[in-house]
Structure 1
Amino acid sequence: MKKLLTTSLFYCVLGLVAGIYYREITKYTEFTGKTQLSVLHTHLLMLGMFMFLIVLLLEKNFGIMASKKFNAFYYIYNAGLLLTVGLLTFHGTMTVLGKETGAAVSGIAGLGHILLAVGLVVLFIMMYERLREENK
């Protein structure tokens, strides 16, 4: 359970730093347009911090970490989230600096979203298995 709490704290800190980064880089460059940096803070807090707080509650109530699928969920989901927010940061920063990014950035960001979705599917499969085991 400590692993889940630490992961949640990690994303909390990253989310807070992302908010500061967005505010400071746009203020420094006097940027007033739209940028993906504006959603970075909330992505990290909701998909990172709050998600792992919820998973912590699921662990407390259902013991999901005992599932053989838990590590698959944990690593796939984290890889997807880090890839997604990494590309959000890169693309948003390039926008603020007035530089274009190529189609590859969108493709890689899409891969991050796919990994997030796969991680969520594994989480739901794991939950159904744990519930089935408890009802036996």
Structure 2
Amino acid sequence: MRKLYYAAFAYMIAGVASGLFYREFTKLNDFPEGGSTQLGVAHTHLLTLGFVVLLIVLVLEKVFTLSASKLFTWFFWVYNAGVVATSAMLVWHGSLTVLGQESSKMIAGIAGAGHILLTAGMVLLFLALGTALRRSQPSGDGMPAAEIAGSAQG
């Protein structure tokens, strides 16, 4: 649970910092106000996909103990790799735009890979959540399946 808390906190800091960077970098380089650059969406990607989503997952972890599933560890690392790769490419591409330089297909390819990792991470999250829901599902006598398994052993 601490991992989720620290990761969400780090994304909150990164999201706020990227918003500050966007504002100051565009001013410093006399970029037209309201001009199109991906720097502005890096801020929202970090705050939404990093900070908000991981806070929601933290609540789900508290309620359903998602980390009991091996899939949860996979979700955590794959999803975070996706958020970092996607956001980094947004900052890189946006910075090039502000500087008046051409972007490359490599940046688009890495951003696409980041989005694929995000998608895979979400699938892993839902698989871990499904496992946790089945584990906590009451059986016919009203006891959760996990409690039934524990009481059968004791």
Structure possessing the higher radius of gyration over alpha carbons: 2
1:131 Cα offset (Å): 0.6
1:106 Cα offset (Å): 0.6
Q: 1:4, 1:114 → 2: CA distance?
A: 21
Which structure has the higher relative contact order (CA within 8 Å, separation 6+)?
1
Identify the match of residue 81 of structure 1 among 74, 78, 83. 83
1:95 Cα offset (Å): 0.3
Q: 1:115, 1:54 → 2: CA distance?
A: 19
Q: Quick check: 1:34 aligned with 2:57?
A: no
1:66 Cα offset (Å): 1.3
Q: 1:36, 1:54 → 2: CA distance?
A: 26
Unaligned runs of 5+ in 1: none
Q: 1:3, 1:107 → 2: CA distance?
A: 29
> TM-score, normalised on structure 2?
0.87
Instruction: Please give the per-residue CA displacement for 1:30-61, whole angstroms capped at 9, x wherever unaligned.
Output: 10121000111111000000111001000110
Aligned residues with identical type, % of pairs: 48
Q: 1:69, 1:128 → 2: CA distance?
A: 11
Q: 1:28, 1:71 → 2: CA distance?
A: 41
Q: 1:80, 1:7 → 2: CA distance?
A: 13
Match of 2:70, SS? coil
1:107 Cα offset (Å): 1.0
Q: 1:3, 1:125 → 2: CA distance?
A: 20
1:101 Cα offset (Å): 1.1
Give every structure 1 segment of 4 or more consecutive aligned residues whose post-TM-superposition deviation is greater than 2 Å: none
1:103 Cα offset (Å): 1.1
Letter matched to residue 39 of structure 2: L
Paired residues, number: 136
Unaligned runs of 5+ in 2: 138-144, 146-154
Letter matched to residue 113 of structure 1: H
Q: Quick check: 1:25 aligned with 2:25?
A: yes
